[in-house]
Amino acid sequence: MRKLLLPVFGLFCAVTLGRAELASQKQPIEITATGDTNYQDGVATAHGNVAIHAGDTDVYADSARYNPKTREILAEGNVRIYRTTGLFVGDHAIYNIDTKEIRAVEMRTDKTPYLVGGEKVTTISEGAFLVSKGTFTTHDSSKPDFRLQAKTVRIYEGDRVVFSNVTFYVKDVPIFWWPYLYQSLNDAFSYMVSPAYLTSWGPSVLFRVSMPVTDDIKTQIRLDYRSRRGLALGLEPDIRYGKNKTSWARIRTYFLRDTHPDVNRTSEVRVGVPEDRYRLSVQNRTEFTDDIYGIADVTKLSDQYLLQDFYPGEFQLDPKPDNVIAVAKTNPIYTLTAITRFQANDFFEATTRLPEVVLDVKRTPLFGGPIFYEGETGVANLRREFATDSGFQNYGTLRFDSFHQFLYPNTYFGWLSVVPRVGFRGTYYDETRDLGKTLLLPSDGNPYIPDFLRVDLKQPVELAGSTFRTVVNAGVESSFKISREWEDAQSRGLGLDGLRHVMQPFMNFSWVSSSDANPVSILQFDRLQPSTQLHPIDFPQFTTIDSIDNWTIARMGVRNRLQTRRDDLTVSWLDLETYIDVNFDNPFDKTQYSNLFNKISFTPVPWASFGISSQIPVFEKGFTEVNSSVSIQPIANLQLNFGHRYLNQNPFFDNSSLYVLSGYYRFNDNWGVGIQEQYEGTTGILEQQRYSIYRDLTSWVASFGAIIRDNGGVKEYGVLLTFTLKALPKLSLDLNFDPAGADQTQ
């Protein structure tokens, strides 16, 4: 190997054994090569695996020349220039060791996950450089399938990339042009352009820019245009603060002047939808200390249809958002909570708590003994605020409630678990309903409708002053387990490697006696809500305090579990739980026996699972509910899901026979298709259809789909197109069926 050191001022000192050393007043230039090296007319030339070291820069090439007068290195063939700013690769480059400028015909820099190339690379500052006639891509190929071609590209390592006069190409086809484009390299920064179409919107474009404001504040700016609805603007900051940044706040704002507020693609009749529509939401959690925290969840809307029109995904999850502010102190034994709940939107009903303070004592042994205690005590200023123009009269009361319960869990004979309990509750109301002036709706004989649900809310509320209600409860819960094993139960097809059957009969008896035999006189705030499922019969699990009535109920059943071995673990192969209520006295179900419940979960192999949750009237008249689900992956490339919900003759809900089918098939590494169908058998309506095609475009993933919704005879159509960049997923073009839905564009 030959080594050549050149002086900064070009002073040649000596050449010995193919090595030349030149002293530089600034820094030495060291050249090594496996081939010939020479020095002629002040220019040093080297061939064969040339390595040049100058300060913080290393240049590697097949051949190179250094001119001490111009202070430039000309490198040719497999050129690699390493600097603190990164790696530059090309076939031909000129590097100035003073200005640190790189001039090249095709020089690119490897900045995972992106690649930048250009004709001239100039250092702006430490960790920053300028690329002239630059190319930006994430596709590591000599012929990338997409690129941004710009007149200049300024790259600031780990911070941002700034383009000027930039064109977006797919292959060699120009798609879009920007005079200026800014892309942060911070994970919090992204652009999102979503061309969209929904029948209620018309052709639309939704634009998002997410950016960091500070290290602890990130925000998203939303600018949407819908041809049928107009222009909309939103600002959505996310903030981290406090000790260790464990506290956070999330603010959502959205404003638009709706040019067609009367557009309605649902079967619901709408009246008085305003033109000026908005949303302001604040979600917050503040950690004051290690054991004291506060939360806030507040949403103010211009009208009751805003979420349905512009946030359909969020509307499906929470159509009537709550408004709550609370502070809680936690302890291993108790939790003390102060809550304020208010009606921010007068078009939604709300039970306000201005305020409520509750002390919950967790189940804990008394003085370390065998008897356990749990309790709950609270005071609340309650008011039931109905929606404006509902025709119902608001009412309120001050309520003080205190509950205390003692339990004595024990095991007898080494296998029988018995947990007796006894409790007492006292509740004070400063206002009650006057039964003598209250009319009840006629009873249709339905056993599932208690008397307090038959109060006609449209009649004036006649108050009767204060009352103090006492409640005594007692009960016992008992269970035991028996098991048997079959080691010879072996079946590859059924996923069996040995079988163990565990059977657990259980029983829960609950008795409650209230001093107020008629809960109709109690104004309903924490009230029983209609449901197809059995209500809890234990306290404090039964949280609807104002609906407490006398009852004597025995809930009994048996759990069966079949277990097997899989991957050195014990897994559930089949679970079956069967139970029923015996109603000696049940105000919520006046039949002698409840429906018979069965819950089955069957996972014979990892790629297939089945589930059925059912209740049927076996011993008494009643309603029927059967919910079934099947999920299978018969081959590696195919996933199928099927679900069916059947409900018949329930007094609170419409009959339903809903079928849901979805599937995904992956043809190969590049293509896949997806489908989802939702059909309501009772109406004969195909309520929803979704179809999607997925295409892997090497560095991008594209999908195209369509949706049809049938809202009771009113149909809505939409299309879906997404382009997601694999290396930088937040650099994407996204079209969503439910644009602006909950967390869909985050």
Comparing CA positions, the residue from 301, 235, 224, 312 lying closest to residue 266 is 312
Q: Give the integer Cα–Cα distance in Å for 258 and 136.
A: 39
531-577 pLDDT, tens digit per residue, is: 999 999 999 999 999 999 999 999 999 999 999 998 888 999 999 99
For the ranges 26-30, 551-555, 717-721, the lowest mean pLDDT is seen at 26-30
Higher pLDDT, 29 or 261: 261
228-267 pLDDT, tens digit per residue, is: 999 999 999 999 999 889 999 999 999 999 999 999 888 8
Higher pLDDT, 86 or 527: 527
Q: Which two tokens stand for residue 245?
A: 């940044």
DSSP 342-385: --S-TTS-EEEEEEEEEEEEEEEEGGGSS-EEEEEEEEEEEEEE
| Residue 71 per-residue DSSP state | T
Higher pLDDT, 310 or 39: 310
Q: Which two tokens stand for residue 399?
A: 């309520």
Architecture per CATH, domain 113-185, reads as Sandwich (2.60)
Q: Which two tokens stand for residue 691?
A: 């179809």
Q: Give the integer Cα–Cα distance in Å for 124 and 110.
A: 18
Range list of H helices, 527-686: none
Q: Give the integer Cα–Cα distance in Å for 424 and 334.
A: 19
Comparing CA positions, the residue from 480, 482, 491 lying closest to residue 564 is 491
Q: How many helices (H) and strands (E) does the chain have?
A: 2, 44
* pLDDT over threshold 90, residue 360: yes
* Burial track 153-183 (b if 16+ CB lie within 10 A, e otherwise): bbbbeeebbbbeebebbeeeeeeeeeeebeb
Q: Give the integer Cα–Cα distance in Å for 455 and 438.
A: 8
Is CATH 2.60.450 what the domain over 1-100 is classified as, yes or no?
Answer: yes
Beta carbons within 8 Å of 523's beta carbon, 6+ residues apart: 382, 384, 395, 396, 397, 429, 431, 432, 433, 461, 546
Q: Name residue 493's amino acid.
A: G
CA distance to 93, 405, 407, 484, per residue, from 365 (Å): 79, 12, 9, 35
Q: Could you tell me where in the chain the CATH 2.60.450.10 domains are found?
A: 113-185
Q: What is the mean pLDDT of the chain?
A: 85
Three-state SS annotation for 205-244 = EEEEEEEECCCCEEEEEEEEEECCCEEEEEEEEEEEECHH
Comparing CA positions, the residue from 362, 359, 399, 363 lying closest to residue 376 is 359
